[in-house]
Amino acid sequence: MLRYSLSDADLADIRFGLSPLNELGLSLRALSDPARYPVHLRWVRRVTEELPAPALDVLRSLVDTRSWVPDFLNPVPTTPLTRFDDEIAALATLDPDRLDHDLDAVHTTRPAALRGPATDVRQRVVDAVGELWDMSFRSTWTRMRTLLEADIVFRGRTTGRAGLGEMLAGLAPAVSFDGRTLSLALRDPRVRTVDVAGAGLTLIPSLFTKNVSSPVTDDGRPCVIYPVRGSATLWDPAPARGSGALADLLGTTRAGLLTALREPASSTELALRIGVSTSAVNQHLRVLHDVGLLSRARHGRSVLYVASDLGEQLAGRDDRDLGPWS
């Protein structure tokens, strides 16, 4: 159990962040124990077949039997626009004492791949992380980031509609919030209480977290890593196709887009799901937006679309009492 004690100032300083290195670091748990992450089995199979054995050995060695990963692979981002190149450059210059500290916090006895002078171990880690990024994440990060950004938009909408407490408690079943203390029911048997004390709290959505995660040690910036909505669509996207009366009214593609946009998404993500060009999707989205069926907002480098209240009603997903015209 980890409890974050929050003051009024801390509650006002809750923010979201995205970290490519954080996602890569957490993905090592799926490589180490694929059975616990069935959604990612296709990805695991591809990585284990294509990544050189020495790099795979180093990456798997970073995870212990409790699925703990060293904190230096889970940096707390300060913005949703963090770049992997900046993070890997910081990792390459990580203080050797810090590297040893974080590894020893995870491993009682280090695996062979992580033994030796700290500078040598650091270079092995940097090389292996870079190989995994180039082999897999570089080509899929845009799609991953779109899902992560869409989740942030969803949490923002939840805060606006139901309040901060409802949003925090809804991050994952293992998260609870009593107005002052945010409690995380972790697999970690330790009971820890951390006074945030003005350090701020960062919420980090992840595609590779099943419930909720946190730093292994308490000497970094406080954060909560929570599971993103829609992670099952990452590797096996379903084409957005509408049917029935809605399709008769709007056409199958636009009806499918309206149905898919119950959760925010960008035109790039939707194009990948449907299998058509981004420009074609943008034309449909523009029409749906112009007639009031979609709302849009810029988040980082992306423009995210989501069904408006009118769009929700038309798609038959609005639970409110619509009065005599329903």
Q: pLDDT digits over 67-97, tens only?
A: 899 999 999 987 777 899 999 999 999 999 9
Looking at 98-102, 152-156, 239-243, which range is the least confident one?
239-243
Per-residue confidence (pLDDT) for residue 199, from 0 to 100: 85
In a domain, 322, yes or no: no
Per-residue confidence (pLDDT) for residue 323, from 0 to 100: 33
Distances (CA, A) of 130 to 59, 123, 138: 11, 10, 10
Residue 282 in tokens: 């943008």
Q: What is the pTM of this model?
A: 0.73
Looking at the fold, whether 219 and 148 belong to one and the same domain comes out as yes
Looking at the fold, whether 170 and 306 belong to one and the same domain comes out as no
**Helix extents (H) in the chain:** 8-12, 20-32, 41-50, 53-61, 84-92, 96-106, 118-132, 138-162, 164-169, 244-250, 252-260, 267-274, 278-290, 309-314
In a domain, 96, yes or no: yes
Looking at the fold, whether 33 and 173 belong to one and the same domain comes out as yes
CB 172 within 8 A of CB 46: no
**Residues 6+ positions from 77 with CB-CB distance below 8 Å:** 17, 18, 19, 22, 202, 204
In a domain, 323, yes or no: no
Per-residue confidence (pLDDT) for residue 321, from 0 to 100: 35
Owning domain of residue 301: 243-315
Per-residue confidence (pLDDT) for residue 89, from 0 to 100: 96
CATH of the domain at 297: 1.10.10.10
Assess whether pLDDT exceeds 90 at residue 46.
no
CB 75 within 8 A of CB 87: yes
pLDDT in tens, 58-67: 999 999 988 8
In a domain, 235, yes or no: no
Looking at the fold, whether 15 and 140 belong to one and the same domain comes out as yes
> Dmax over Cα atoms in the chain, in whole Å?
75
Q: Residue 81's closest CA among 125, 15, 30?
A: 15
- pLDDT (average), residues 216-234: 84
Per-residue confidence (pLDDT) for residue 302, from 0 to 100: 67
pLDDT in tens, 5-27: 999 888 988 999 999 999 999 99
Cα gap 160→170, rounded to integer Å: 14
